[in-house]
């Protein structure tokens, strides 16, 4: 009787091992993401200030390519969309005479209702991904680090006060190609994320008093992964 019982246990254990190996050969992680960020600006002109809440939202898919047998290390390649707003005191206008963009820092005496710009970026994340995941463990530690390439396909500047309403969407000085390092880390559903833009939002032709406006982006926030 004991021999039969031992044999049954061994067979059951073998079935579990085979099942887990079969699952292990297929599973991938973190292939859909949604993020929210608080947006900051660095490399800015003199007297440039942010005011109010500058926020962003990102969403996309990343194909997970495991690179080890356990499949907790992987390379991720993806595509996503980011929409970011920046409330600040940079007034973007257009001169009537030569049709060039004028940039001006507003002083504290200007009482505007809205002064912000919004960017719409198609993003292409490239990540090295490490996790403590298994085929049956859905809450685990993760560290993702890599590079985000972006194509800024729309830039919208909006200024409103009691007398003036200026909307600009055709700035020739916008840098369409954006890139910078990114990272995320956390456990389970809640994960911190960060991005530092190495490229400037505006090229060298955007100037205030013969100095470049520049503007580099820093995004800090949370990201949620699915699948």
User: In this predicted model, what pLDDT tens digit does every residue of 187-227 receive, in sequence order?
Assistant: 998 899 999 999 999 999 999 988 999 999 999 999 999 87
3-state secondary structure of 140: coil
137-155 confidence digits (pLDDT tens): 878 999 999 999 999 999 9
52-104 confidence digits (pLDDT tens): 899 999 999 999 999 999 899 999 999 999 999 999 999 998 765 566 789 99
| CB count in 10 Å sphere of residue 161 | 14
Helix, strand counts (H, E) of the chain: 1, 13
Alpha-carbon distance 129 to 223, whole Å? 14
Residue 137 near residue 186, CB atoms below 8 Å: no
136 vs 64: which has the higher pLDDT: 64
Residue 141 near residue 134, CB atoms below 8 Å: no
Show me where the domains of the chain are located: 28-226
97-133 confidence digits (pLDDT tens): 566 789 999 988 777 889 999 999 999 999 999 999 8
Reply yes or no on whether the pLDDT at 24 is more than 70: no
Alpha-carbon distance 138 to 179, whole Å? 31
Alpha-carbon distance 143 to 56, whole Å? 22
Reply yes or no on whether the pLDDT at 18 is more than 90: no
Residue 207 near residue 213, CB atoms below 8 Å: yes
Q: Does the predicted TM-score (pTM) go above 0.95?
A: no
- Helix, strand, coil percentages for the chain (3-state, nearest 5): 10, 55, 35
- What was the pLDDT predicted at 95? 63
Cα distances (Å, whole numbers) of residue 202 to 9, 30, 87, 177: 68, 33, 16, 10
Give every CB contact of residue 173 below 8 A, 6+ residues apart in sequence: 101, 202, 203, 205, 206, 213
Long-range contacts of 207-212 (CB under 8 A, 24+ apart): 207/103, 208/45, 208/103, 208/104, 208/105, 211/45, 211/46, 212/45
Nearest by Cα to 213 from 86, 98, 121? 86
Residue 155 near residue 176, CB atoms below 8 Å: no
| Residue whose token pair is 């079935």 | 15
């Amino acid at each position: 009787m004991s021999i039969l019982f031992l044999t049954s246990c061994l067979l059951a254990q073998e079935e579990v091992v085979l099942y887990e190996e079969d699952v292990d050969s297929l599973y991938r992680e973190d292939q859909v993401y949604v993020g929210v960020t608080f947006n900051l600006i660095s490399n800015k002109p003199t007297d440039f200030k942010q005011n109010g809440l500058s926020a962003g939202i990102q969403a996309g898919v990343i194909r997970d390519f495991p690179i080890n047998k356990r499949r907790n290390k992987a390379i991720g390649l993806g595509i996503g969309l980011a929409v970011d707003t920046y409330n600040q005191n940079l007034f973007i206008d257009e001169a009537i005479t030569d049709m060039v963009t004028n940039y001006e820092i507003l002083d504290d005496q200007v009482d505007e209702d809205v002064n912000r710009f919004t960017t719409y970026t198609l993003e292409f994340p490239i990540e090295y991904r490490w996790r403590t995941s298994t085929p049956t463990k859905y809450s685990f530690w993760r560290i993702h680090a890599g590079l985000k390439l972006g194509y800024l396909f729309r830039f919208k500047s909006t200024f409103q006060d009691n007398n003036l309403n200026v909307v600009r969407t055709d700035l020739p000085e916008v840098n369409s190609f954006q890139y910078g390092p990114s990272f995320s880390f956390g456990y389970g559903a809640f994960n911190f994320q960060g991005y530092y833009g190495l490229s400037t939002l505006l090229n060298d032709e955007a100037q205030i008093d013969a100095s470049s406006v520049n503007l580099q982006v820093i995004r800090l926030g949370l990201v949620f992964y699915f699948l």
